[in-house]
Structure 1
Amino acid sequence: MENNLIELTNKLQTVLASISSYESLDLPQIVVVGSQSSGKSSVLETIVQRDFLPRGSGIVTRRPLILQLITQRQSDAGEYAEFMHCRDKRFFDFDEIRQEIERETSRLAGANKGISRTPIHLRIYSPKVLTLTLVDLPGLTKNGRKKRMLTILIFLLGDQPQDIEKQIRSLIMDYISNPNSIILAVSPANMDVANSDSLKLARQVDPEGKRTIGVLTKLDLMDAGTNALDVLMGRSYPLRLGFIGVVNRSQQDILTNKSMTEAIDAEEDFFRQHSAYRSIASRCGTKYLSKQLNSILYTRIKEKLPELRSKLSSLVSQTQQELNQYGDPAFSSGDLHRGSLILKLLTKFSNDFVAAIDGTSSEMSTKELCGGARIYFIFNNVFGSALDGIPPCANLSNNDIRTAIRNSTGPRPSLFVPELAFDLLVRPQIKLLEAPSIRCVELVYEELMKICHISDNKELMRYPRLHTKLVEVISELLRERLSPTSNYVQSLISIETAYINTNHPDFLGAAGAMANLENESKRKKKVSETKRRHMRTESPASSVVSVGSRAEEENHLVPNGVHKENGFTPTPSVNGADNKESFLTYFFGGANKNERPALGPQEMMNNASFTSPLSVTSMMESELERKFEQASIQPTEEQLQASDREEIEIQLIRTLITSYFNIVRKNIQDLVPKSIMHLLVNHSRESVQNRLVASLYKEELFRELLQEDEGVAADREKCKTMLDVYKQAFEIVNNAL
């Protein structure tokens, strides 16, 4: 039973390591940690009872070695080894095993002293070993000045990184941090155990010493009269799993090829005959260490079986679901099966496209807006903000409006504010709404294109050519709808400019515009009067105003803010109720000739001094010549300066443009999203499946469309292998409980 459980762990490690996912299970294993020259390699070789590890000075182990020992019956093929990177070959010569480890190490870690995190997997079958899983890691290096100088020298001469010590410690921490790992901390007995690098590192991840077992080497090299009995008895450095003393072969024994059998016999004799260790001789030595490691590993695996079974059950379910998404490769053979498969994939793709628009997809992102929600955002935020950001009178200066008013009257003086000027000015303003409207169509089109390109359907991703064709068909459909939608949206603007409906119920009109201006004038006058009263209250001396100046002010201003110098004097009214009516009459007709300043100022005739007819005629001819000369050149800035009447006309036109522009903007903000939804979005979502079937459901295309991606096929095989391993492991674990 012990061997079965450990073999299960070994098998899981081997198979799962081939797809780099065995770490997720945190499988129990024994991690060997020790400093350089601590005897770590000798301990492993004595356990295996074979010389197979590279030897030399400096860092010899430069890649993790996952060593799986499997008890082999005597009647079987004898001792041999297998590497995971060359599974078809068995190694019977252990010198060849050492050479293969060196070759594989140099292949990834370089020829000098660099290290690699990628492990080497070695499985040894032998009747001399107990079933174990051991991980041999690079030896810890000292931090002394001499050692650092040596490291820098090696770095300069070879390709060893300068931070080699940091890399080794990081690599060791990755393995011993696994809570299911058993830490085999190797320390030389001829040094202070409290300063052992391996025990210090183990203490960081296992502060209570629950999963650390100490191994004391070089007991035979201690000074005469000293021993390590207190350490081995757990009195000086307590560990839950205790310390075990071993005596390995010396360097001389290795050079003279002393056999492992002789070395183990010599080790047993040392403990039996030593005065300090004879009482605990049965709990010392390599044989006892192997038994203890086998027992500890078995106990650890058995403790983790319930957790392992639960995790394996979950992995079986997840892997089965993932395998189902890859589909059955046999299903794509035969025209009948191919046809039904393509029809299924077409339907799935179109349903996903529609669901993304409608917001009913079960795989909708929670990190960002997408699909239909993105389209709504474009309508409501992007397009709405773009329209609101356009001023009704953008790029219209007072001079532009005044020029339009003057040009629209031609050679005739205006009797009232010309409507043609309003038409000429408001149409270009409405055209400003066209650019953001067309851009709104483009943004929605781009979002629909994004939806059809994004697909997480693994079954569909098996067939890259089919997926490419699906995207091409949908893209073509969307491109076909883009032009009609843009043209229709553009026509909405043209419709608005084709007929300026001044009878619209929401349009202010002339009366409303004048009322607004009058209210604004009264408000400003009231504010000005309030300020003057406030100033008089604060400074009485400054409030003294001459009667003449007050009378002059009253003679130049009329109640509605129109100057008398323009030739208009409103008819007095007892209660002032007729002021507004007379003001409107002034601008829009009904006044007599004397009340229309456009007919010519009367003051010039009234104030002219009478002279002889001849002199008058001469003066008029001279004045006419001067006027005609001025007419041949551009008007001066002084001549173009707006009169008070024109200032009011400009404000009136600006108010009318703003009122009508807001009406049109409101219409466009409502109609453009509706048009896009009808002509582009809804039309695409309703016709997507019919278009896909009509374009791709053709028997002559089946074989081409269902050519499977090689990467997906490899992933399916890997997933299938993974599922088989999980199922087998679950069965063994389930039976073991």
Structure 2
Amino acid sequence: MGNRGMEDLIPLVNKLQDAFSAIGQNANLDLPQIAVVGGQSAGKSSVLENFVGKMLLDTLPGLRNKLQSQLLSIEKEVEEYKNFRPDDPSRKTKALLQMVQQFAVDFEKCIEGSGDQIDTYELSGGARINRIFHERFPFELVKMEFDEKELRKEISYAIKNIHGIRTGLFTPDMAFETIVKRQIGKIKEPCQKCVDLVISELVNTVRQCTKKLAQYPMLREEMERIVTQHIRDRESRTKGQVMLLIDIELAYMNTNHEDFIGFANAQQRSSQMSKKKDAGNKVIRKGWLTINNIGIMKGGAKEYWFVLTAETLSWYKDDEEKEKKYMLPVDNLKLRDIEKSFMSSKHIFALFNTEQRNVYKDYRQLELACETQEEVDSWKASFLRAGVYPERIMVSSEESSSESFMHSMDPQLERQVETIRNLVDSYMAIVNKTVRDLMPKTIMHLMINNTKEFIHAELLAQLYSCGDQNTLMEESAEQAQHRDEMLRMYYALKEALNIIGDISTTTVSTSLPPPVDDSWLQPKTK
């Protein structure tokens, strides 16, 4: 490389360094430093210049590739910014329309599910609502189910009060209707709770979907407000319809229902007080749980792999299920909640035996811990399918009076109570089945599908009616700064690529001169 080539190279390299400074930290590229060499002989200077020039030329292809790939990565985004005019009303209208359409698509994907951009870290809004419908709501229904002793006491009082002063020879069907209506009335609370849980998930889904609108904070806030307000407006309509479903059930006792056992079979059905379990060893649920109440001397709390079937609860060392630690029959087991300890972040529930026996080795109850309350609720719902129900808490005085009342019952009255009890059990199973089927359908129609239609059809009009569109579409300071940085980087990258092209064409490398032939020099003789 001659002196002339080196003179041309140095200013180009300086320009390239300036371009890299303009690109900023995001470029993450190194540029060889060129130092001006002085005080050297002509031969040495020529060799050094060639060496430095060759090193730079060897580096240029790699630099060019990195710059081009970086330019391509931001080109699509910068294309939107090139002709950007903040005060252009048509741009704001177009952006508003795009944002509303994108929000509608994202909301529907979160609820209905989609094959693209699947979140693998947490459940989407639709998946959470599905769990409310098919796990949480059935669990809340069972929690409201009647206490056995209290129910029999109510049936007995109803029979006696219907007979009055007379001695009844036949079991009065009015007692059946009275008790069933009381039990149906108790369903209202879990139904309303189900609506509340779904509303909460819908509102969370709306907030999740508006995160993409961060560049327009006013639009995001207004969109959240409008959609959330619509959901709240639908709440009263949905709850009213749900209460209407319960009132319809209360209006008429259909004792001709094909699934109802009827008076003829009720007397032969004493074994039906406990619900039928799924046959065989059908696996209901598998998952990790921590046994929380094992003492420190025995190893302390430890996590195991649990397998729940219709008849047993087993736990293993790990999810390979090769080393079984214990197997516990689920007969006579019930659930109770354990108060969360301030020393632990885990959520705990316990299994205990209704016959006052030890559940596991020397322990009266088996305390099981989960990381979240959602996991606890899901496990409780699974235990319900295995016939393990929540504990009923009774005041001791009521319990003792109930016990004495049961012992004082005459045989004829006891038979009548048993008949009504079986009829109530059969009819409530029909009602619960109907409610479990209709609740998700009602909420889907009146709440979820209606909200989707509102977003598609009316949200844009509501946003236009809110006021000044310019204020609504005002960019955040962060977005404006980001746009300026991207444009600056884009033009600096293009400038750097142009300079590299100039260096490649301007700089011409020459080979080293041939060695000087000094063979003619004769050594001096002494």
Query: How would you bin the TM-score normalised by the shorter chain?
Result: 0.5 to 0.7
Pair 1:357-2:111 in alignment = yes
SS in 2 for 1:314: helix
- Give me the CA root mean square deviation: 3.8
> Which of 317, 326, 330 does residue 85 from structure 2 map onto?
330
Partner of 2:64: 309
Q: Is the 8 A contact 2:23 2:493 kept in 1?
A: no
Higher RCO (C-alpha 8 Å, min separation 6): 2
Partner of 1:503: 256
> Which of 26, 31, 36 does residue 130 from structure 1 map onto?
36
SS in 1 for 2:165: coil
Partner of 1:516: 269
1:404–1:22 CA distance, 2 compared to 1 (3 A): same
Provide the rounded CA distance (Å) in 1 between the counterparts of 2:186 and 2:148: 9
Report deviation, 1:359: 2.4
1:379–1:308 CA distance, 2 compared to 1 (3 A): farther
Provide the rounded CA distance (Å) in 2 between the counterparts of 1:5 and 1:456: 48
1:295–1:451 CA distance, 2 compared to 1 (3 A): farther
Which residue identity lines up with residue 207 of structure 2 in the other structure? Answer: H
Q: Is the 8 A contact 2:16 2:499 kept in 1?
A: no
Provide the rounded CA distance (Å) in 2 between the counterparts of 1:327 and 1:386: 57
Provide the rounded CA distance (Å) in 2 between the counterparts of 1:662 and 1:14: 75
Partner of 1:21: 26
Partner of 1:279: none
Provide the rounded CA distance (Å) in 2 between the counterparts of 1:457 and 1:391: 42
> Which of 489, 494, 506 does residue 247 from structure 2 map onto?
494
Partner of 1:683: 450
Residues paired across the two proteins, number: 369
Pair 1:440-2:207 in alignment = no
Q: Is the 8 A contact 2:137 2:194 kept in 1?
A: yes
Partner of 1:369: 123
Partner of 1:702: 469
Structure 1, residues 26-69: CA drift from partner, whole Å, max 9, x if none? x256xxxxxxxxxxxxxxxxxxxxxxxxxxxxxxxxxxxxxx77
Partner of 1:402: 156
Partner of 1:423: 177
Q: Is the 8 A contact 1:404 1:421 kept in 2?
A: yes
Report deviation, 1:659: 0.9
Q: Is the 8 A contact 2:23 2:488 kept in 1?
A: no
Q: Is the 8 A contact 2:210 2:220 kept in 1?
A: no
Report deviation, 1:13: 4.6
Structure 1, residues 360-382: CA drift from partner, whole Å, max 9, x if none? 48444232221333322322232
Which residue identity lines up with residue 693 of structure 1 in the other structure? Answer: L
Query: Which structure 2 residues correspond to residues 48-67 of structure 1 after superposition, within 5 A?
Result: none
Report deviation, 1:679: 0.5
> Which of 460, 463, 485 does residue 216 from structure 2 map onto?
463
Q: Is the 8 A contact 2:17 2:31 kept in 1?
A: no
1:699–1:648 CA distance, 2 compared to 1 (3 A): closer
Provide the rounded CA distance (Å) in 2 between the counterparts of 1:433 and 1:304: 76
Pair 1:729-2:507 in alignment = no
Which residue identity lines up with residue 411 of structure 2 in the other structure? Answer: D
Q: Is the 8 A contact 2:9 2:503 kept in 1?
A: no
Which residue identity lines up with residue 22 of structure 2 in the other structure? Answer: V
Partner of 1:663: 430
1:499–1:709 CA distance, 2 compared to 1 (3 A): same
Query: Which structure 2 residues correspond to residues 50-89 of structure 1 after superposition, within 5 A?
Result: none
SS in 1 for 2:67: helix
SS in 1 for 2:223: helix
Report deviation, 1:675: 0.4
Provide the rounded CA distance (Å) in 1 between the counterparts of 2:115 and 2:223: 19
1:700–1:385 CA distance, 2 compared to 1 (3 A): closer
Q: Is the 8 A contact 1:437 1:672 kept in 2?
A: yes
Provide the rounded CA distance (Å) in 1 between the counterparts of 2:214 and 2:405: 76
Query: Which has more radius of gyration?
Result: 1
1:387–1:727 CA distance, 2 compared to 1 (3 A): farther
Provide the rounded CA distance (Å) in 2 between the counterparts of 1:427 and 1:362: 48
Q: Is the 8 A contact 2:20 2:492 kept in 1?
A: no
1:456–1:414 CA distance, 2 compared to 1 (3 A): closer
Q: Is the 8 A contact 1:356 1:451 kept in 2?
A: yes
Partner of 2:391: none
SS in 2 for 1:448: helix
Query: Which structure 2 residues correspond to residues 141-540 of structure 1 after superposition, within 5 A?
Result: 291=48, 295=51, 302-323=57-78, 329-330=84-85, 332-334=87-89, 336-360=90-114, 362-388=116-142, 390-391=144-145, 393=147, 396-455=150-209, 460-517=213-270
Structure 1, residues 464-487: CA drift from partner, whole Å, max 9, x if none? 212221121111211111110011
Report deviation, 1:689: 3.2
Q: Is the 8 A contact 1:326 1:462 kept in 2?
A: no
Structure 1, residues 660-687: CA drift from partner, whole Å, max 9, x if none? 1111111011101100111011111112
Q: Is the 8 A contact 1:16 1:22 kept in 2?
A: yes
Report deviation, 1:456: 6.5
1:503–1:317 CA distance, 2 compared to 1 (3 A): same
Q: Is the 8 A contact 1:326 1:712 kept in 2?
A: no
Provide the rounded CA distance (Å) in 1 between the counterparts of 2:429 and 2:406: 34
Provide the rounded CA distance (Å) in 2 between the counterparts of 1:394 and 1:309: 81
Give unpaired runs (5+ residues) of structure 1: 30-67, 70-128, 132-263, 273-281, 521-633
Report deviation, 1:340: 4.0
Provide the rounded CA distance (Å) in 1 between the counterparts of 2:65 and 2:419: 82
Provide the rounded CA distance (Å) in 1 between the counterparts of 2:73 and 2:149: 64
Q: Is the 8 A contact 1:28 1:300 kept in 2?
A: no
> Which of 5, 11, 14 does residue 18 from structure 2 map onto?
11
